[in-house]
Amino acid sequence: MGFIIYALSLSIFIYGAVRMKRRPTQLDVATLAGVSPGIVSTIINNRTNGNIRISEATQQRVLDAIKELGYVPNPVARSLAGGQNRLLGVFTYEALFPLEYRNFYYEFLIGIEKEAEIQDYNLLFFTRRQGTQKRVIYQNGVNSLQLADGAILLGLGTDREELARLNNEGYPFVFIGRREIKNGQISYVAADYKRATREIVEYTINKGHRRLALVQGSLRAEPQLDKQAGYCDATALNGLNESLAEIHYKENDQITVEWLKMLFDKGVTAFIVESTSEAKRLAAVAAQLGKHAPADFSYAILGDPMNLEEIIPDATTYRTPRQEMGAQAVRLLCEILTAGGEIEPRQVILPCHFQPGNTVGAPSHPA
């Protein structure tokens, strides 16, 4: 039954031109209203509905005190007391806003932002490197993502070891793009490259082409494997054996006149090209041979251009639903968070959208 006097001392520091007032706290409000601190919290959060009751009079006094002091709850203290911080992390191994891939990444971010807004989360972009050379999740063994309630990962370069460790640790995260790890499954949202590729290859075959070539870079990660699988499916199902459906690994600078001439001489009429930059190179080299698409040969591109400069208008290609992927990833992450861990890793595959374009036509000399 002790009397406690809550001292009120809103000290004001003068720093040059900027007044740095100590912000009033619940204690200040409580003191002014002549009540105990807890009750202020109760009123502010409308927790008066449950079995906690506060008289109208007290309520009014507290509200008046709040107004008089200009009291504003400290969000930091709030989230500390509350447990979560409603922060979703976003992590990439490369730049979050890359110049070279600007067109590609931006769409994901649009989707992520939209859905984060809907789910009422803030976004924490991990840009700190803390002295390390490249970005890593584990900084001298420390999982830096823990700063957020959960995280969205995306990007090309991926450290599988870190992913596996993250998974093991039970940290809630979702990858944008298919990523597989040893001894387990992670949650991801991916585009159905395999099916999209199969469709676009079948489209090409249906145009009359009987001799195709797949041109891929040297990188052999999940997306590339999926595209290859789709290519193989489509060609095999349509009775094209391996000699009629070649596979080539070529970097841009390896797409030479000699090489292309060789393929033309072999009778290849259609090229399935992994990326726009390779397609541009292919078209340029073909032009040196006096050949132009779709009259003299055909080509289709497996997926979107990575930046603005390389866009080929009206290319035959398919679009990855990147906005939707970003949004889905956030949604999935939120489900995982609300489930509080009682959930198996889940994979979401979204369809791509075929775009006919005009770089695939009928073969000039049908087989």
3-state secondary structure 169-206: HCCCEEEECCCCECCECCCEEEECHHHHHHHHHHHHHH
Q: Does 32 bind DNA (CB under 7 A)?
A: no
Q: Does 99 bind a second copy (CB under 8 A)?
A: yes
Nearest to 202 by CA among 237, 162, 177: 237
One residue of 146, 288, 338, 364 binding a second copy per CB under 8 A: 146
Report the C-alpha gap between 230 and 201 in whole angstroms. Answer: 8
The one of DNA, a second copy, none whose footprint includes residue 15, by CB under 5 to 8 A per kind, is a second copy
Size of the site for a second copy (CB under 8 A): 70
Q: Does 82 bind DNA (CB under 7 A)?
A: yes
Contacts of residue 80, Cβ cutoff 8 Å, sequence gap at least 6: none
Least distance (Å) between residue 74 CB and DNA? 3
CB count in 10 Å sphere of residue 117? 12
The one of DNA, a second copy, none whose footprint includes residue 267, by CB under 5 to 8 A per kind, is none
Helix/strand/coil for 116: helix
> Which span (45-53, 190-198, 327-335, 342-350) binds DNA, by CB under 7 A?
45-53
Binding mask 330-349 for a second copy (x = CB under 8 A): ---------xxxxxxx----
Report the C-alpha gap between 199 and 24 in whole angstroms. Answer: 64
Contacts of residue 143, Cβ cutoff 8 Å, sequence gap at least 6: 137, 165, 166, 169, 171
Q: How many residues are present in the chain?
A: 367
One residue of 52, 80, 237, 289 binding a second copy per CB under 8 A: 80
Amino acid occupying residue 200: I
Q: Interface residues for a second copy in 243-302 (CB under 8 A)?
A: none
Q: What does the binding site for a second copy look like in residue numbers (CB under 8 A)?
A: 13, 15-21, 23, 63, 66-68, 70-77, 79-80, 85-87, 95-97, 99, 102-103, 106, 109-110, 113-114, 116-117, 120-131, 138, 140-144, 146-147, 168-170, 308, 339-345
Q: What does the binding site for DNA look like in residue numbers (CB under 7 A)?
A: 1-4, 22-23, 25-27, 34-42, 44-45, 47, 52-55, 57-59, 71-74, 77-78, 80-83
